[in-house]
Amino acid sequence: MTTHKLTKEETDRYADLNGTIIHYNEAGEGPTLMCFHGGGPGASAWGNTRHNIDALSQHFHVMLVDLPGFGESDKNARPPENESSDVYLARLLRDLLDSKGIEKSHLYSSSASGPPSLRFGIDYPDRVDKIIMQSSGVGGGPLMFSPSPAEGIKALGEFDREPTRERMARMMHLFIPKDELCTEEMIDARFQAAMIPGHLEARRATRAGGGDILRDISRLKAPVLVVWGHQDWMVPVEGALGALARIPDVRVHIWGGGTGHFVEYEKADEFNRLVIDFLTH
């Protein structure tokens, strides 16, 4: 018996949040799990979590959300003046839940979406259940054992300065260290997504207004699961130690064996089991 695999087209949804258009993919029933992507060029929620939506939607009402500037969401939305991007994005996520009449949600964040997810938990504690953070720490202090900036961040900066497919390929191979997992098809799709008009400009504008999560992290009440790959050339794995030290209710899972930045893809089956167990117990 074959199992139907969800497609992007059948799960595509849009929400108008006070003039800001947000795209998301939706599937499944049960407790809500909102999933976000990282901040690299060409990132999107479907691109990040398409490998997991079939398994996760068997247990949860899953929403893969493109943040402003990414995927098919609004390319012109910007944080208000004097408001940090994490505060702005957390409020937008609250508005998305309100638009669907949803009281509470689990959150899954990847890399750069970690700070707005933590901010959501801090600012709207009654609206969050549990948080999963992938390859994302809390910040605060220089790295002790890893070069800074990391090789992947250097490659990302090179692409920003001159966006070519060759530079995208270098960046993607630093995201995903195992060559057999980093396919030409993935590189092409990511490059095409990065070249959507307005995306790179919106990405830079949102990134410029980060907040100070470290100052407020002690107020976070939600249980947090931090997941990481030990060979992460984008966000070095020692960031997990900072998360372990600073997040009040936290547990950490690190994959070895050459696992990189995209553990939800590189270790999809294990990742799905781990997340389902964490969220249902």
How confident is the model over 69-118, as pLDDT tens digits? 999 999 999 998 888 999 999 999 999 999 999 999 999 999 999 999 99
Catalytic choice (23, 61, 173, 261): 261
Q: On the CB side of 191, how many CA atoms lie within 13 Å of its CA?
A: 18
What does DSSP assign to residue 241? Answer: H
- Would you state the pLDDT for residue 140? 61
Question: Which residues have a Cβ under 8 Å from the Cβ of 270 and sit 6 or more positions away?
Answer: 255
Q: Which domains does the chain have, with CATH numbers?
A: 12-280 (3.40.50.1820)
Q: What is the mean pLDDT of residues 162-180?
A: 97
Q: What is the mean pLDDT of residues 263-281?
A: 98
How confident is the model over 227-258, as pLDDT tens digits? 999 999 999 999 999 999 999 999 999 999 99
Q: What is the mean pLDDT of residues 31-45?
A: 97
Of the candidates 113, 125, 124, the one whose C-alpha atom is nearest the C-alpha of residue 86 is: 113
How many C-beta atoms lie closer than 10 Å to residue 172's C-beta? 25
- Would you state the pLDDT for residue 143? 58
Is residue 149 reached through a cis peptide bond, with omega within 30 degrees of 0 on the bond before it? Answer: yes
How confident is the model over 52-73, as pLDDT tens digits? 999 999 999 999 999 999 999 9
pLDDT of 34 > 80? The answer is: yes
Q: Which two tokens stand for residue 40?
A: 């690299």
How confident is the model over 196-210, as pLDDT tens digits? 999 999 988 776 556
Q: Which two tokens stand for residue 65?
A: 């959300």
139 band by pLDDT with thresholds 50, 70 and 90: confident
> CB–CB of 36/68 below 8 Å?
no
Q: Which two tokens stand for residue 32?
A: 């809500």
pLDDT of 219 > 70? The answer is: yes
User: Judging by beta carbons within 10 Å of its beta carbon (0-12, 13-18, 19+), is residue 210 exposed, middle or buried?
Assistant: middle
Q: What is the mean pLDDT of residues 9-29?
A: 97
For the sheet containing 32-35, what is the strand order? 12-17, 20-27, 61-65, 32-35, 105-110, 128-134, 224-229, 250-255
Can you tell me the distance from the alpha carbon of 21 to that of 14, in angstroms, rounded to the nearest whole number? 7
> CB–CB of 74/203 below 8 Å?
no
Can you tell me the distance from the alpha carbon of 157 to that of 165, in angstroms, rounded to the nearest whole number? 14
Residues facing residue 227 across a β-bridge: 134, 253
Q: Among 113-127, 144-158, 226-240, which is the least confidently predicted range?
A: 144-158
- Would you state the pLDDT for residue 147? 67
Which phi and psi (to 5°) does residue 71 adopt?
Answer: 55, -125
- Would you state the pLDDT for residue 145? 61
Place of tokens 């960046």: 171
- Would you state the pLDDT for residue 1? 45
The mean predicted confidence, pLDDT, of the chain is 94
Q: What is the mean pLDDT of residues 22-45?
A: 97
- Would you state the pLDDT for residue 144? 56
- Would you state the pLDDT for residue 212? 84
Question: Which residues have a Cβ under 8 Å from the Cβ of 259 and sit 6 or more positions away?
Answer: 177, 229, 230, 231, 232, 266, 267
Is the dihedral angle over the CA atoms 71, 75, 80, 85 positive or is it negative?
Answer: positive
Catalytic residue status for 106: no
